[in-house]
Chains A and B, each alone.
Chain A
Amino acid sequence: MSVKLLYFAWVRERVGKGEEVVEPPATVATVADLMTWLAGRGEEYAFAFENPKVIRAAINRAHVKASTPIAGANEIAFFPPMTGG
């Protein structure tokens, strides 16, 4: 499954890019699985996802939990807790 990933704030800085398209293996079923898989892609990813508990995610522009399945997702975003307002 090909999916577009977006990174924001320090997640973007650590990964070194704002977006990319990836093809995770079928064993990657949830948002948490995806973070674990990404962390194994290289030093910059390992650094970005070293503490997945603090990273928030959105699928198709809606907030989701780490346990949410990624099947059917077109766009998945990873970012730190929000500091707007």
Chain B
Amino acid sequence: MPATIRLQSADFDAGAEAALLTCGRTDIGAVVTFIGICRGSEAGAPVAAMILEHYPGMAEAEIARHVETAEARWPLLGVTVIHRYGRLVPGDNIVLVITAASHRHDAFAAAEFLMDYLKTRAPFWKKEERTDGAAWVDAKLTDEIAADLWAQVPPAAE
């Protein structure tokens, strides 16, 4: 089943997207659904809204490349990645990653792999609107380390 990759300003329905992956299938035994949500505070400071900027064309290509890597690394039976852009307020969904596999380990690992790469390699940038003005979010070293770790750990599923 080809992966579903979408960038959109509109919200998504995680339950409906997961149902699309499993509909009519009896080989799928595990579905992991990850939803990233806009927080109302960052390091103790209230956040009024978040602007998500992206590089159209490259963002889709970069996500597709990492989905292909995940599919080569784990025996996946379905993948959906939806990333929103534009202005989001606290409580809004930002990103959806769904992985389907026969067994939970593969689905969990692939979902975490995809999120770790989305954080540091997909061309998206967050700007937070705070009470004291707007500021671009700094990249976190911990996210960079998490993504790099996948390149060092030998694939567990092979």
Contact = CB atoms under 8 A, between A and B. Distances in A.
Interface of A: 6, 8-10, 58, 61-63, 77, 79-85
Contacts of A84: 52, 54, 59, 83, 95, 118-119, 122-126
Contact of B58 (A9, A10, A58, A83): A58
A8 B123 CA distance: 9
Interface in B21-64: 36, 52-55, 57-59, 61-62
Contacts of B95: 84-85
Interface string B136-155: 11111001100000000000
A79 to B, nearest CB: 6
A85 B58 contact: no
Interface of B: 36, 52-55, 57-59, 61-62, 83, 94-95, 115, 118-127, 136-140, 143-144
Nearest to A61: B58
Given A8-B55, A10-B136, A82 B121 contact: yes
A85 B55 contact: no
Given A58-B55, A77-B55, A85 B139 contact: no
> Chain B at the A interface: mostly helix, strand, loop or mixed?
mixed
Nearest to B139: A81
A6 B118 contact: no
B22 to A, nearest CB: 24
